A and B are shown apart, each in its own frame.
Chain A
Amino acid sequence: MTESKPSPNFGPAIQVQGIRKHFGHLEALRGVDFELRKGEFLSLFGPNGAGKTTLIGILSALTRPSSGTAKVAGYDVKEADPEMRREIGVISHASFLYADLSPLENIRFYATMYGVERAEERAIEVIDEVGLKPRIHDRVRTFSRGMLQRLSIARAIVHNPSILFLDEPYTGLDQHASGILKVQLQALHTDQRTILMTTHDFSRGLEMCDRVAILVRGKLALWKSADQVDPADFERLYLETVEQAK
């Protein structure tokens, strides 16, 4: 399903080399390197201000890196190729949805922006996938936080991207809503999509990832395979890593 649009090369889905980003004199990222193969799920932890959102901004070609190279789906992010954007879906704590439009209008709008064929049908399809079909004509303004987050999953996958970036998707969700989100993420993961998720929630972050990373002050302080990490002991590991890196 994800291979429907072949990338220029079949290398890693995400390849990051020496990425740095400074805002004025503030260095948000100070040399980040990693690789993520296709279909891998990376959970990225780190204290506030570590540069997680900046990293996602760079990988989704919203922010230009100050130096270093990053390739996503084989495309250099500096080029911001439209084909690369078609491979990427982003879910953030902001929903990117127009509050006065209905789910259908919102998703159809984004489908059009991504050049999806049969935008209307595809929109209905993904709204159904996230279980919001009954409210397809309601105003998004009336939605709860959990429903918004589900709708923003629909928005992020309407163009069927092979790579997903999730920036603290669990923020502000109640147990029920975050349970639903988890199920949906699992479905996306088994679809062989490459996923990079940042979160502060250890158990949510660890429950389905393949790789674990901790970003502290703009540098990767830990990079491990998920089976090398003991979820029960992760809190201690996290605090130690953050403390050491500081």
Chain B
Amino acid sequence: MNQYLSQVKAIIWKDFVTELKTRELFSSMFVFAVLVMLIFIFSINLSIVSASQVGPGVLWVAILFAGTLGLNRSFALEKENGCLQGLMLAPVDRSAIFFGKMLSNLAFLLIMEAFLLPVFMIFFNVDIGSHLAPLLAVIFMGTLGFSALGTLLSSLSSNLKTREIMLPILLYPLMVPIAIGSVQLTGQILDGKSLTDMMNWVGLILCFDIIFISASIMTIDHILEE
């Protein structure tokens, strides 16, 4: 168990060191997310629609799109020089590889979101300070589900010739529950409602997280083995 944890930690650590050295992933994800928000703002007439109504949707679209960039890169990194194969040679449980990659994807996304939220607040002129705790909880739950399913699918799509195209095509329809749920919850929270009034959505997203983390652990062996 100790060995397992130190392996997961080593994978996360490796991804962080790589990111600290190259600074490629974070900057491209963040800039892309801001651009997505900007494009949506241009396409919506904010004098007709209220910002707090469309804001959550735009925020989550930005997160999902930017997250896809990160996922695409995550396993591309492992493919360069055949590193994934080297990793597979080691006495490491395949689920440890999954958890390591999932947690580093999750961490990168959460950091990116931490920077994105102030931008969102300014662009849409919404006050998030008063509902920060439930908002962060919702963002965490949604991002967790996205990272779990996204890591599973990017481990799969990274072996395809058309990986950059196939990842979103596979991922987005499966992400519908998270997309709808997170947008609904974020919207309600910004309207000042309490999270306890929307336990059905919270339950749905938690179910998503649990189901797809479990499904990933059960199937990752088959994806990673040759």
Contact = CB atoms under 8 A, between A and B. Distances in A.
Chains A and B in contact, CB within 8 Å = yes
Interface of A: 57, 60-64, 82-83, 85-86, 88, 90, 92, 94-101, 105, 109-110, 112-115, 139, 155
Contact of B18 (A83, A92, A101): A101
B81 A60 contact: no
Nearest to B221: A80
Interface string B69-87: 0000000010011110111
Interface stretch (B2-10, B45-53, B164-172): B2-10
B45 to A, nearest CB: 44
Given A110-B90, A113-B92, A57 B81 contact: no
Nearest to A140: B81
A113 B7 contact: yes
Chain A interface SS verdict (over half): loop
A92 B84 CA distance: 13
Interface size class on chain B is 20 to 34
12 contacts: A60-B89, A61-B89, A62-B85, A63-B225, A95-B82, A96-B82, A96-B85, A96-B87, A99-B80, A101-B14, A112-B7, A114-B91
Contacts of B82: 92, 94-96
Given A94-B81, A95-B81, A113-B91, 10 more contacts: A62-B85, A62-B88, A63-B226, A85-B91, A90-B89, A92-B85, A105-B14, A113-B10, A115-B6, A115-B91
B226 A57 contact: yes
With most chain A CB atoms within 10 A of its CB, the pick from B3, B21, B82, B86 is B86
B17 interface: yes
Contact of B10 (A60, A64, A82, A112): A112
A110 B86 contact: yes
Q: Secondary structure of the B side of the interface?
A: helix
A53 to B, nearest CB: 11
Interface of B: 3, 6-7, 10, 13-14, 17-18, 21-22, 77, 80-83, 85-92, 225-226
Contacts of A109: 10, 13-14
A170 B38 CA distance: 52
A85 B89 contact: yes
Contact of A98 (B3, B81, B226): B81
Contacts of A90: 86, 89
A85 B77 CA distance: 23
Contacts of A88: 89
Contacts of B10: 109, 112-113
Contacts of A97: 81, 83, 86
Contacts of B85: 62, 92, 94, 96
